[in-house]
């Protein structure tokens, strides 16, 4: 799995000509097709590969080849991306992704048993063996306006929340609930906080939510903003990248990797874990992979549809959800800051104090200095 590199925005593929045409070339990235079926019911189109260099690169290359046709609709491209032909749609690009919350954003998925050149933020490499990891990319089209301000960060965290939802639904695991834990803040009434912000370090009052029984056992969490944690160790990571822009529509790809059946002696670090080490009686690999992919596609599509329809309200909902399952808040962190995808050399240490409206992270240092982090490599102690 990827080392813990954090970024609240899209990945590096964001340079465009004045007409919106992407300037960064992507290889054809051909993969060996194992299946291309309806195994992921919540997606518009699906492709399953046995091996590929990178599912994000494969998806981005597929998008750009499809967009080579003149006047083709971005939403139709995504809906039919892995079909023989592009899906038909009567919706226009603007109305399909921005008119109201009832119109779902499109969603296509590519999965692979393994990838040979997987990567994460800041060019980190990924560890993957056939049949041991969930490797997939989720492709969607959203209003280009979501790339500005804090909305792009919330798209990344929406993918993390979707991964947690899928794991809960598939395995019976539950997520950390900071609202019910002494020492951490929540977003519901009844949580007394040290500071005024509703996601600061809290003095834990019990209130309605998960039962005390539910608070025991393996727990899922998000480490700000794009790592999935289980029992305090990294289970997987997320890499969001901009594939293309046409008019007022952006096509975004979300690469998600999770350790499923990686044995303990092959985990990349002592800070990582694998699903099989925490959960008994898992389904066989292909079934588990497809069920997780289906859950992610459904949840991510729902969250992004709401974000496209009402960015302000949806961002606040996502913030509260993220705070509730945060592995970062209230803990000592070391942030190695980055700029334009490159580490700057600046290091900030302190207590992670809040996740803000623009998806940034606030850290309070030992000198009581407040530092806001938008991009960087964040380690949690």
Please give the helix or strand (H or E) that residue 323 lies within, else none. Answer: helix 311-324
In Å, what is the CA distance from 38 to each residue of 110, 293, 349, 352? 12, 12, 47, 42
Taking the C-alpha atoms of 277, 281, 286 and 287 in order, what is their torsion angle to the nearest 10 degrees?
A: -130
Question: For residue range 14-63, what is the model confidence (pLDDT) as tens digits?
Answer: 433 333 333 233 333 455 555 545 579 999 999 999 999 999 999 999 99
Quick one: which of 15, 320, 26 has its CA closest to 186? Answer: 320
pTM of the model: 0.80
| In contact, 111 and 46? CB cutoff 8 Å | yes
Q: Which CATH architecture has domain 332-380?
A: Roll (2.30)
Q: How far is CA 109 from the centre of its chain?
A: 14
Question: For residue range 288-344, what is the model confidence (pLDDT) as tens digits?
Answer: 999 999 999 999 999 999 999 999 999 999 999 999 999 999 999 999 887 655 556
- pLDDT by residue for the chain (381 residues), tens only, comes to 333 333 344 554 443 333 333 323 333 345 555 554 557 999 999 999 999 999 999 999 999 999 997 778 999 999 999 986 444 443 344 444 444 434 899 999 999 999 887 555 545 555 578 899 999 999 999 999 999 877 889 999 999 999 999 999 999 999 987 555 433 333 332 222 223 333 333 333 332 333 333 445 789 999 998 899 999 999 999 999 999 999 999 999 999 999 999 999 988 888 999 999 999 999 999 999 999 999 999 999 999 999 999 999 999 999 999 999 999 999 999 998 876 555 567 899 999 999 999 999 999 999 999 999 988 788 998
| Spans of all domains in the chain | 6-173+218-324, 332-380
Query: What region does 209 belong to: left with phi over 0, alpha with psi -120 to 50, or beta?
Result: left
* CATH fold for domain 6-173+218-324: BirA Bifunctional Protein; domain 2 (3.30.930)
| In contact, 231 and 211? CB cutoff 8 Å | no
DSSP 128-182: --TTTEEEEEEEEEEEGGGGSTTHHHHHHHHHHHHHHHHHHHHH--EE--GGGST
| In contact, 159 and 138? CB cutoff 8 Å | yes
């Amino acid at each position: 799995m990827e080392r813990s590199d954090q970024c609240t925005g899209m990945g590096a593929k964001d340079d465009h000509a004045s007409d919106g045409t992407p300037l960064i070339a992507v290889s054809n990235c051909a993969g060996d097709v194992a299946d291309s079926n309806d195994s992921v019911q919540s997606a518009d189109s699906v492709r399953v590969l046995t091996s590929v260099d990178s599912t994000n690169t494969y998806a981005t290359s597929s998008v750009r080849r499809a967009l080579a046709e003149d006047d083709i609709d971005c939403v139709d491209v995504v809906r039919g991306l892995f079909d023989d032909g592009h899906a038909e749609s009567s919706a226009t690009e603007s109305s399909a992704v921005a008119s109201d919350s009832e119109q779902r954003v499109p969603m296509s998925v590519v999965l692979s048993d393994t990838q040979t050149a997987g990567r994460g933020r800041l060019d980190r490499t990924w560890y993957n063996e056939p049949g041991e990891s969930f490797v997939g990319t989720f492709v969607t089209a959203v209003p280009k306006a979501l790339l500005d301000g804090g909305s792009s960060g919330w798209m990344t965290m929406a993918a993390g929340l979707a991964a947690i939802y899928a794991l809960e639904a598939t395995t019976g695991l539950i997520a950390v609930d900071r609202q019910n834990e002494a020492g951490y803040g929540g977003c519901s009434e009844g949580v007394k906080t040290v500071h005024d912000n509703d996601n600061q370090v809290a003095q834990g009052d019990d209130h309605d939510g998960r039962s005390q029984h539910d608070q025991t056992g393996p727990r899922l969490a998000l480490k700000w903003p794009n790592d999935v944690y289980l029992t305090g160790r990294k289970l997987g990571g997320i890499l969001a990248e901009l594939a293309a822009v046409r008019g007022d529509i952006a096509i975004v790809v979300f690469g998600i990797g999770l350790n499923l059946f990686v044995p303990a002696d092959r985990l990349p670090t002592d800070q990582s874990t694998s699903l099989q080490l925490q959960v008994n009686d898992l389904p066989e690999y292909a079934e588990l992979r497809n069920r997780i992919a289906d859950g992610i596609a459904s949840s991510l599509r729902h969250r992004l549809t709401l974000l496209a329809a009402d960015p302000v309200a949806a961002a606040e909902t996502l913030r509260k959800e993220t705070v509730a399952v945060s592995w970062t808040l209230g803990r000592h962190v070391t942030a190695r800051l980055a700029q334009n995808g490159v580490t700057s050399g600046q290091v900030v240490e302190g207590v992670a104090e809040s996740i803000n409206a623009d998806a940034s992270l606030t850290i309070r240092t030992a000198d009581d200095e407040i530092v806001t982090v938008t991009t960087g490599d964040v380690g949690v102690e």
